[in-house]
Amino acid sequence: MFKFLLSQSRGLLFFTALASVIHGACSVLLVTQISGALTADALARDRMALTFGLTALVVMLSQMAASILSERLSHHADAQLRLYVSQRVMDTDYRHLEAIGAAKVQSALAEHTAKVAEFFVSFPAILTNAVVVLGCLTYMLMLSWQVFLFAVLVLALGSLAYHLVHLRAIVHLDAAADEQDRLFGHFRSLTDGAKELRLHRNKRTVFANKVLGESIEIVRRERTKGMSIFLLSASWSNFLIYAFIGLVLFVLIRDVPNQAKIMTGFALVFVYMVTPLEVLLLNLPRANLAKASADRIDDVTQGMQVNENPANPLQLPVLKSLELDGVAHRYYHEQSDDFFALGPMSLSFKAGEVVFLVGGNGSGKTTLAKLLVGLYPPEQGSVKLNGELIDDANRDQYRQIFSTVFSDFHLFDRLLQVGNTDTSALDQRGNQLLARLHLQHKVQVKNGAFTTQALSQGQRKRLALVVAYLEDRPFMVFDEWAADQDPVFKNVFYHDVLSELKAQGKTILVISHDDRYFHLADRMLRMENGQLQIVEQQELIPA
């Protein structure tokens, strides 16, 4: 993660760090001038005035530059990380994405990227405070090397204590990060399961108190413990610093030359150094939070291998023939608590035919559809388009021939295929289709976007059908599209839409249980326990 951010923000980070170093160095110089002025005579103070004024001006300007550049770096780093994770998610194998789960991806995008970016942006601030601390130590060395050695010993004891508690605190921060991923899954359940929660009071109470509430409490408790340990250690370190100042003022510095200058210098420098040193120490827990978040992002993106060549949108393939030869796939089946084997099976499609796929729940129909459209690569066998073998080199290009409406479809708020082109013709065609599906009073297409998505599930499916229709691709797959429609729209879909798409030369695969419409298919396939059967033509005739 940090290497990626460095590659994306090298120039901005350099100038931010440069401004921070200048600010830190000039701040130390300003403190030394103040210390010198406190013990100098009037004539010497007059000579120092101009230098002091110029130094203060540089401190102000460098602080302005460092602050503005840090703000820009913060937003840039956060945006780049989110783009990085989003792009990896979009490019990864769909099967691997299913295994990861939506909750971990959402947590990476919303929580972990922010923490990594926050610590990355703190580098200039760390650099500034490190320069201040080193500059103060150098000035103390110039004042008295004996007292300087004692100061180094005090700082070493404080740092050692901080390191020891860090080992304990990181355990709590890691536990909070693990629970955070689960918490994002519960957040999603708040909206996805809203109907079920409202209909069942006990379920709602248990979810609020036992599931969501306990998860929130674990994150709060573990983070509070981890950060509290760090804060206690920081307080101990501050006490050591003030104890050292007391020793300098009342014990260590006695009858020595320049006693006033040394005492003033050490006291002033140490008081000034407290805040930068505290900032450095407090960045340790931030570093560990960032490390834990970076590990979570790595866990999510590690297996997201981009093995496929991206499709060329200007060279979309034409469908003449499509063949599945000995294709097989295995996956975990929840109902049987075992691995389910699909195939091997051989199947072919040609342009302009309507194929129905039927079978019981869990028989493998949707999995076959995902294999067909290229979401799953076959574990054995081959897929050929127009006689050309489909592999990683051309699978993304192959997927461009399909438009789908799966049973768990997602409806975007706009027609994403529009891009920057003129949308007027597409708006007009989309609104015609909406009127045909009796949606014109609910939603409109304006500038390539839908005016609303506040629709019932059946209406949303009709809207998804409009999207698939407007994509105008040669192969269309409908997974239980009519399951949420009333008889009127079932008739429109099976009699009007399918016949019109067929007349346009589209190949259509319909996963359906509506046996009264089976006779409309050119071919019908049946899935039973992962095996494909061809249904005889006479079985398509309705009773």
Helices (H) and strands (E) in the chain, counts: 16, 12
> Does 521 lie in the same domain as 489?
yes
Query: In this structure, what CATH number is given to the domain that contains residue 67?
Result: 1.20.1560.10
Angle at 47 between CA 42 and CA 48, to 5 degrees: 95
What is the total count of domains within the chain?
2
Segments forming the whole domain that contains residue 293: 2-299
> Does 326 lie in the same domain as 196?
no
Phi–psi pair at 210, nearest 5 degrees = -90, -35
> Does 326 lie in the same domain as 288?
no
pLDDT the model gives residue 315: 76
> Does 126 lie in the same domain as 214?
yes
Q: What H or E segment, with its residue span, contains residue 511? A: strand 507-511
pLDDT the model gives residue 421: 59
Distance (Å, rounded) from C-alpha 348 to C-alpha 385?
Answer: 10
CB of 520 within 8 A of CB of 498?
A: yes
> Does 286 lie in the same domain as 176?
yes
> Does 330 lie in the same domain as 202?
no
- Is 210 exposed, middle or buried (CB count within 10 Å of its CB: 0-12, 13-18, 19+)? exposed
The 10s digit of each residue's pLDDT in 330-355 is 876 555 556 778 879 999 999 999 99
Distance (Å, rounded) from C-alpha 392 to C-alpha 511?
Answer: 27
- What is the side-by-side order of every strand in the sheet holding 388-389? 338-350, 321-333, 380-385, 388-389
Total-model pTM: 0.66
CB of 117 within 8 A of CB of 124?
A: no
> Does 119 lie in the same domain as 54?
yes
In a domain, 418, yes or no: no
pLDDT the model gives residue 502: 93
pLDDT the model gives residue 306: 67
H helices of 92-144, in order, are 94-100, 102-107, 113-143
pLDDT the model gives residue 543: 45
> Does 292 lie in the same domain as 330?
no
In a domain, 454, yes or no: no
- Closest among 33, 525, 99, 11 to 269, alpha carbons compared: 33
Which amino acid is it at 107? S
In a domain, 502, yes or no: yes
The 10s digit of each residue's pLDDT in 488-520 is 888 889 998 999 999 999 999 999 988 889 989
In a domain, 463, yes or no: no
In a domain, 156, yes or no: yes
> Does 138 lie in the same domain as 64?
yes
In a domain, 377, yes or no: yes
> Does 205 lie in the same domain as 347?
no
b/e burial code for range 442-476 (CB count within 10 A of at least 16 → b): bbbbeebebeeeebeeebbbbbbbbbbbbeebbbb
Q: What H or E segment, with its residue span, contains residue 445? A: strand 445-446
> Does 407 lie in the same domain as 289?
no
> Does 355 lie in the same domain as 479?
yes
Instruction: Please report, in tens digits, the pLDDT of each residue of the chain (543 residues total).
Output: 667 777 777 788 788 888 888 887 888 788 778 777 777 777 877 778 888 889 889 988 988 888 888 778 877 888 888 888 887 787 777 877 777 777 778 777 777 777 777 777 677 777 777 777 787 778 777 877 777 787 778 777 776 776 677 777 878 877 887 888 788 778 878 877 877 777 787 888 888 888 888 899 998 998 888 888 877 776 776 677 777 767 766 766 665 566 666 667 767 776 777 777 767 766 766 677 777 777 777 777 776 666 777 777 777 778 889 999 999 988 765 555 567 788 799 999 999 999 999 988 888 899 899 999 998 989 899 999 999 999 988 888 898 899 999 988 888 887 876 555 567 888 888 899 899 888 888 999 888 888 888 888 888 999 999 999 888 899 999 999 888 788 888 888 999 899 999 999 999 999 998 888 998 999 999 998 888 887 765 555 554
